Amino acid sequence: MTHDLVAALRPLLLAEASAEAHASGTEPADLEQAVWLRLLERLDTDGPPPDPPGWLRRAVRSEARRSRRTTRQERPYEHEPAADTDRHDPEHLALMAARRRALREAVRRLPGRCPRLVEALLSPRDPTYREIAGELGISQGSLGPERSRCLGCLRRLLTPEVAAREARG
């Protein structure tokens, strides 16, 4: 039953995720995987939806909205010097080294295979997703959602450290 449902919904999900992904600022594969997970959760708790295509369309739009909200809440770190003239300033170099150290320490505290994944993403040799997936032994399609989860964990680890440095009020 589940296999038939997945086979019937797959083309619709591919089309809906492709249509919604660009507007939400996410990858279609990330939306697809999130919706498949929602479907599995629903099948475990409530059984199959009465109107699978309608449910699928609503689920894709809901995941796209969630992704847009997440993207809107993310803010770039604003304290980077703008000019190249500061690049050789000893204070700038010390601050950058401290930031890199804090980032690497936070990456090491991540759960599961997240430390290896984030280290690969931060690698100076700039590997492709295919190379990273092969190195970690996971499918390339799972890399985007895994990256999102790992970066979410990293963001939660770094938020107290970054928030503590900012002036309040």
The CA angle 99-100-102, to the nearest 5 degrees, is: 65
pLDDT tens digits for range 103-115: 888 899 999 889 9
Looking at residue 168, what is its pLDDT? Answer: 46
0.75 exceeded by pTM: no
Q: How many CB atoms lie within 10 A of CB 119?
A: 14
The whole-angstrom separation of Cα 86 and Cα 118 is 28
Looking at residue 52, what is its pLDDT? Answer: 92
Q: What CATH architecture is 88-165?
A: Orthogonal Bundle (1.10)
Looking at residue 78, what is its pLDDT? Answer: 62
The whole-angstrom separation of Cα 95 and Cα 19 is 42
For the chain, domain boundaries: 2-73, 88-165
Q: Which long-range contacts (CB under 8 A, 24 or more apart) does 61-70 make?
A: 61/20, 63/20, 63/31, 63/34, 63/35, 63/38, 64/20, 64/21, 64/23, 64/24, 64/26, 64/31, 65/24, 67/24, 67/25, 67/26, 67/30, 67/31, 68/23, 68/24, 68/25
- The segments of the chain whose pLDDT lies below 70 read 1, 74-87, 160-169
Are 55 and 49 in contact by the 8 Å Cβ rule? The answer is yes
Looking at residue 16, what is its pLDDT? Answer: 92
The whole-angstrom separation of Cα 120 and Cα 11 is 32
